[in-house]
Amino acid sequence: MKTYRLAAIPGDGIGGEVVAASLEVLHAIAARVAGFRFEVDIFDWGGLYYKKHGLMMPENGRDLIRHHDAILFGSAGHPDIPDHVTLWGLRLAICQPFDQYANVRPTRVLPGVTSPLRDALGLDWVIVRENSEGEYAGVGGRVHRGSPLEAATDVAMFTRQGVLRIMRFAFDLARSRPRRQLTVVTKSNAQRHAMVMWDEIAAEVAREFPEVVWDKMLVDAMTARMVMHPSTLDTIVATNLHADILSDLAAALTGSLGIAPTANLNPERAFPSMFEPIHGSAFDIAGKGIANPIGTFWSGVLLLEHLGEKAAAHRLMTAIERVMADRRWHTPDLGGTARTADVTAAVIDAIHGAN
């Protein structure tokens, strides 16, 4: 039987709860859809690890997970540790060296879930976020700390190769979806260097994909369009910062931050890809057993798709939809009273066709 090696990094807060639930679900789907199994290694990296060792993950951490088939990540962050330390010390310390440059975020309103939009009919998007450079390239500096002359820069750095590869990825993904439609988001009216290059490269790549209908939007206008005319959008590509913001908006429009999944892909498969819910460690509800695990389950669907296990991915997505359609299984963030364990059991039952 085929065995996939999975590296699980639960992290902090509710990360541990939703990753444990997802591992149960992934083992259940593997048992139901014959032909493969998961072998899981769990790594206790994150905020608590930092408090003991002064690092978010060990120096050789990446070597320990480099040969796994995929990474399942929960959330890292701790109220006592600055966010930029946890982000750069773990998530970005994996994403960047593993060249997971395509961050993919499917966005749909699941049956049974209420969107804050009056009319969310037809909201079915995939947001592609450039995940390796741009505004989060880490370029910049700070001088004259504490003096009146103090100054700081964060330079948004875009390379032609970096923009080309994310644009090709996005056009290719758009072509694989029924509507074959892509919206390229920039701020090229105000940012006249990199964003203009982004627009030019989009036009170049568009010629390689004549089947794809595409348009351009400025990011500010895009937020309004997402809210006012959601059904006019399909695949969306944007820079690291812009897509970060747009995808939180998108997640909120689907009913809860707890539902939204994401994949950090290295499309060339030179390194493992990483799958995680978009929410953070949510310490306000940690340890209470009420975190919504659906975002992490859905990330499991993306993980299965990435491994090429299409039948298993489809079966798990169907189980998630069936469970969400029944309000008994809604956690408090969705206005219900279900607990993480109830949702997990319901999804496992649905995998086995029991409900």
Of 257, 314, 321, 355, the one binding ligand ATP (CB under 6 A) is: 257
In the block, residue with structure tokens 């930092």: 50
Contact track, Mg ion, 91-120, x by CB under 5 A: ------------------------------
CB 265 to ligand ATP: min, Å: 21
Residue 291 site contact among ligand ATP, Mg ion, none (CB < 5 to 8 Å, cut-off depends on kind): ligand ATP
Nearer Cβ to ligand ATP (237/338): 338
Contact between 256 and 333 (Cβ < 8 Å):
yes
Stretch of residues binding ligand ATP (CB under 6 A), selected from 230-238, 262-270, 277-285, 300-308: 277-285
The DSSP code for 328 is G
Q: Are 58 and 46 in contact (CB under 8 A)?
A: no
Residue linked to tokens 């056009």: 171
Residue (of 179, 77, 166) closest to 128 by Cα position = 166
Does 74 participate in binding Mg ion (rule CB under 5 A)? Answer: no
Strands (E) located in 189-311 = 213-218, 235-238, 261-265, 273-277
Q: How big is the chain, counted in residues?
A: 355
Binding-site partner at residue 11 among ligand ATP, Mg ion, none, CB < 5 to 8 Å by type: none
User: Cα separation of 345 and 329, whole Å?
Assistant: 10
Interface pick for ligand ATP out of 173, 285, 343, 348 (rule CB under 6 A): 285
Cβ-closest residue to Mg ion?
280
Biggest alpha carbon–alpha carbon distance for the chain: 67
Interface with ligand ATP: number of residues (CB under 6 A):
18
CB of 105 to ligand ATP, least distance (A): 14
Comparison of 81 and 184: residue with beta carbon closer to ligand ATP:
81
Q: Which amino acid is at 274?
A: M
Q: Is the distance from CB of 105 to CB of 66 less than 8 angstroms? A: no
Nearer to Mg ion, 280 or 295 (CB): 280
Query: Judged by CB under 5 A, does residue 280 bind Mg ion?
Result: yes
Cβ atoms of 154 and 88 closer than 8 Å: no
Under the criterion CB under 6 A, does residue 292 sit at the interface with ligand ATP? yes
Q: Which of 280, 322, 323, 347 binds ligand ATP (CB under 6 A)?
A: 280
Residue 279 contact among Mg ion, ligand ATP, none, beta carbon within 5 to 8 Å by kind: ligand ATP
For position 134 contacting Mg ion by CB under 5 A, the verdict is no
47 binds ligand ATP (CB under 6 A): no
The CB-nearest residue to ligand ATP is: 280
Q: Could you say whether residue 279 binds ligand ATP (CB under 6 A)?
A: yes
By CB under 6 A, is residue 291 in contact with ligand ATP? yes
How many other C-beta atoms are found inside a 10 Å radius of the C-beta of residue 223?
16
Alpha carbon distance 334, 169 (integer Å): 33
- Contact in structure between 272 and 306 (CB atoms under 8 Å): no
Report, in Å, the least distance between residue 82 CB and Mg ion: 12
**Interface with ligand ATP in residues 312-331 (CB under 6 A):** 331
Q: Which residues of 93-122 are buried (b: 16+ CB within 10 A; e: fewer)?
A: bbbbebbbbbbbbbbbbbebbebebeebee
Shortest gap between Cβ of 43 and ligand ATP (angstroms)? 18
Closest CA to 297 of 352, 267, 260: 260
25, 40 Cβ separation under 8 angstroms = no
Q: Which residues contact 169 (CB under 8 A, 6 or more apart)?
A: 101, 102, 128, 267
Report the site for ligand ATP in 193-252 (rule: CB under 6 A): none
Query: Which residue ranges make up the site for ligand ATP (CB under 6 A)?
Result: 14, 75, 77, 83, 257-258, 279-285, 291-292, 295, 331, 333
